[in-house]
Amino acid sequence: DKPKARYKRILLKLSGEALIGDGKYGISPKTLVAIAQEVKDVVELGVEVALTIGGGNIFRGVSGATEGMDRSSADYMGMLATVINSMALQDALEKMGVSTRVQSAIEMHQVAEPYIRRRAIRHLEKGRVVIFAAGTGNPYFTTDTAASLRAMEIHADVLLKATKVDGVYSDDPKKNAAATKFRSLSYLDVLKKNLKVMDSTAISLCMDNDLPIVVFDLTARGNVRRVVVGEDIGTTVGK
């Protein structure tokens, strides 16, 4: 028997780095397959899944800007990097028989649909995985903010923020052995303590619209499914 999912519609935010795997940059085909499998597992539970992927494995606006590029140009390059990642994940999912659509915030008719909110919702209702590419389409934003915004727009029940650690800690657990993990946090805690969950724009948006966030470790196999069926892993951020 299928376990019952806790959420009907989720938005899963993956960082670009999640695709690197053992390499130093770019996309690891093996890691891509593993992530696609995680997504497929929850689709099979009947959960409607939207994805937002970062671009940090290819290009990040801030680093371009610190090396003398105009911030906006660098950010647009970062957004294009997220399109590359979205297409890679789409390919991996489709190979597994999961039906997908990529919707880009920057129009690119040959490779992706333009972002159309109502159309995205329609895809989700039909059981397709919708991958939101090119962030918000605006420089000076991040894909975390794009994830929050899209989650709100499609009325997702939760924003799942996939990371490399199993939740939010009081300090970097890799550097400080005394760091403790929070099981739950309020949005204000995150903002006041400057905890590295997502950037403050993204957190504020979730706070103002009561969208819960679950921060969890994507590197452990089966974790997306665990979160979705309501196992108490990671850190929940809410009111």
Task: Give contact residues for ligand UDP (rule: CB under 6 A).
Answer: 15-17, 54-56, 60-62, 74-75, 78-79, 81-82, 135-136, 138-139, 141-146
Closest distance between ligand UDP and the C-beta of residue 64, in Å?
A: 7
CA–CA separation, 238 and 185 (whole Å) = 6
Q: Alpha-carbon distance 147 to 159, whole Å?
A: 8
Q: Is residue 86 part of an annotated ligand binding site?
A: no
Report whether 115 belongs to an annotated binding site: no
Q: Binding residue per annotation — 13?
A: yes
Smallest gap from Cβ 146 to ligand UDP, in A, equals 4
For the CB of residue 140, give the shortest distance to ligand UDP in the complex, in Å.
Answer: 6
With respect to ligand UDP, which residue has the nearer C-beta, 48 or 144? 144
Residue in the shown chain whose Cβ atom is closest to ligand UDP: 54
Which one, 17 or 153, has the nearer CB to ligand UDP?
17
DSSP sequence for the chain: -PPPPS-SEEEEEE-GGGGTTTSSSS--HHHHHHHHHHHHHHHTTT-EEEEEE--TTT--HHHHHHTT--HHHHHHHHHHHHHHHHHHHHHHHHHTT--EEEEESS--TTTSEEP-HHHHHHHHHTT-EEEEESTTSSTT--HHHHHHHHHHHTT-SEEEEEESSSSEESS-TTT-TT--EESEEEHHHHHHTT-SSS-HHHHHHHHHTT--EEEEETTSTTHHHHHHTT---SEEEE-
In terms of CB distance, is 45 or 65 closer to ligand UDP?
65
| Residue 163 in marked binding region | yes
Nearest-approach distance from CB 3 to ligand UDP, in angstroms: 29
Q: Which is nearer to ligand UDP, 113 or 231 (CB)?
A: 113
Task: Decide whether 5 or 223 has the Cβ nearer to ligand UDP.
Answer: 223
Tell me whether residue 223 is annotated as binding: no
60 is in an annotated binding site: yes
Nearest to 28 by CA among 38, 37, 17: 17
Q: Residues annotated as binding site?
A: 13-16, 55-56, 60, 75, 136-143, 163, 169, 172
Q: Residues annotated as binding site for ATP?
A: 13-16, 56, 60, 163, 169, 172
Q: Residues annotated as binding site for UMP?
A: 55, 75, 136-143
